[in-house]
Amino acid sequence: MLQKTFSKLGLSSATHTVYMRLLEKGSCSAHQLADWTDLRRTSVYDHLKVLIQKGLVVERYDQGKRIFSVDDPQNLPKLLDENIESLKKEREMVASLIPTLLNGGNALEPKMKFYSGIEGVRHVLNDFKWQHNVETLSMWPIKEMIGILGSDFFEDLNKRRIKQNVSIRGIWPLGRGADIKAHPYMGTGKEFLREIREAPRHMKWDMGYWIYADKVAFISSSKEAFGFTIHSKEFCDLMKIQFESVWSQSKKIKPNHAYTDPWINKVYTTFGKQIPR
């Protein structure tokens, strides 16, 4: 039940097992815990020591015997809060070092990274999860891309994108756009921070790209399943010229509020934000 939480706290599955048995059985000895968990008594003591240090378990003596029980369950969320604060401080420290790290290397040289397979393709796009307050440009055979990466992946990506104020101007090939009824997270309009146009009939392509933050991410078709990113301002500028040329020739896709409003309303409610119209 709490195994993922314990993992996030750096606690082992065995430590989680000991905690859950204590939660289930109440006060008991290490010997009893060893019987209930199939762990050696010496190992049980090791896990109890960790739990006591974390403030999750307390120890007392009853007629000369060491008895253990779960401390206030509210200590668990408090421990998570402490970890969050610690991670925030670590993040601030790392962020402060970025200029030094960049200056220490040849940061102006173009960088190219290649990834193969479906997981590699997902890895390429996961970089978008770190973007904030930027405009991006994309040319996607989106119907095929959803088929490659899955609806859940794109829905999560769009939730994060909207939350982090990452806007899109996108171009889809004619007849290969997203089925908005099946995929309402692909809606257009101010609330989606997305404007989509449909390319002219004679323009067809199978590979997609996304331009953002001096990078271009390329994603292959399902037949080949690979992706790569190029980090180069000069290359981005060149791709932007190509994008704007196609954009000017493409036809705007109108929003379909009947299918998209329920999804976007729920997203903004979750974020506690007002929907822009």
Mean pLDDT of 186-200: 95
**Could you tell me if residue 135 is inside a domain?**
yes
Mean pLDDT of 174-200: 94
Distance CA 91, CA 85 (A): 10
Predicted confidence (pLDDT) at residue 102 exceeds the cutoff of 70 = no
At residue 194, the pLDDT reads 95
pLDDT band at 110 (very low <50, low <70, confident <90, very high): low
How many other C-beta atoms are found inside a 10 Å radius of the C-beta of residue 242? Answer: 13
pTM: 0.64
Asked if 134 and 267 sit in the same domain, the reply is yes
Asked if 153 and 260 sit in the same domain, the reply is yes
User: Taking the CA atoms of the chain, what radius of gyration do you get in angstroms?
Assistant: 26
How many other C-beta atoms are found inside a 10 Å radius of the C-beta of residue 218? Answer: 17
Asked if 258 and 130 sit in the same domain, the reply is yes
Which of 6-15, 101-110, 243-252 shows the lowest per-residue confidence on average (mean pLDDT)?
101-110
Asked if 69 and 134 sit in the same domain, the reply is no
Structural domain ending residue among the three candidates 51, 81, 107: 107
**Could you tell me if residue 155 is inside a domain?**
yes
Structural domain ending residue among the three candidates 85, 107, 129: 107
At residue 251, the pLDDT reads 96
CB 125 within 8 A of CB 157: yes
Asked if 135 and 20 sit in the same domain, the reply is no
Q: Which residue has the higher pLDDT, 109 or 91?
A: 91
The enclosing domain of 234 has a CATH number of 3.30.870.10
Asked if 174 and 235 sit in the same domain, the reply is yes
Distance CA 22, CA 32 (A): 10
Count of the separate structural domains present in the chain: 2
Give 123-161 pLDDT, tens digit per residue.
Answer: 888 887 788 899 999 998 998 888 888 899 999 999 999
Predicted confidence (pLDDT) at residue 105 exceeds the cutoff of 60 = no
Predicted confidence (pLDDT) at residue 246 exceeds the cutoff of 90 = yes
Q: Which stretches within the chain are classed as H helix?
A: 3-8, 13-25, 30-37, 41-53, 75-104, 117-126, 142-149, 151-163, 233-249, 257-271
Residues in the chain: 277
| Residue 36: domain span | 1-107
Distance CA 198, CA 105 (A): 42
Give 7-64 pLDDT, tens digit per residue.
Answer: 878 888 899 899 888 888 888 899 899 988 888 989 999 999 988 888 888 888 888 8
Percent of the chain with pLDDT over 70: 94
Asked if 163 and 237 sit in the same domain, the reply is yes
**Could you tell me if residue 250 is inside a domain?**
yes
- Burial class (CB within 10 angstroms; exposed 0-12, middle 13-18, buried 19+) of 131: middle
Q: CB under 8 Å, gap of 24 or more: what pairs does 221-224 form? A: 221/141, 221/144, 221/148, 222/144, 222/147, 222/148
The enclosing domain of 67 has a CATH number of 1.10.10.10
Of 194, 176, 179, which is closest to residue 140 (Cα–Cα)?
176
Asked if 129 and 88 sit in the same domain, the reply is no
Asked if 54 and 180 sit in the same domain, the reply is no
75 CB-side CA count, 13 A: 13
At residue 6, the pLDDT reads 82
**Could you tell me if residue 262 is inside a domain?**
yes
Asked if 121 and 182 sit in the same domain, the reply is yes
Predicted confidence (pLDDT) at residue 242 exceeds the cutoff of 70 = yes
pLDDT band at 222 (very low <50, low <70, confident <90, very high): low
Asked if 77 and 61 sit in the same domain, the reply is yes
**Could you tell me if residue 276 is inside a domain?**
no
Asked if 149 and 240 sit in the same domain, the reply is yes
**Two tokens at 64?**
């000369």
Structural domain ending residue among the three candidates 107, 135, 157: 107
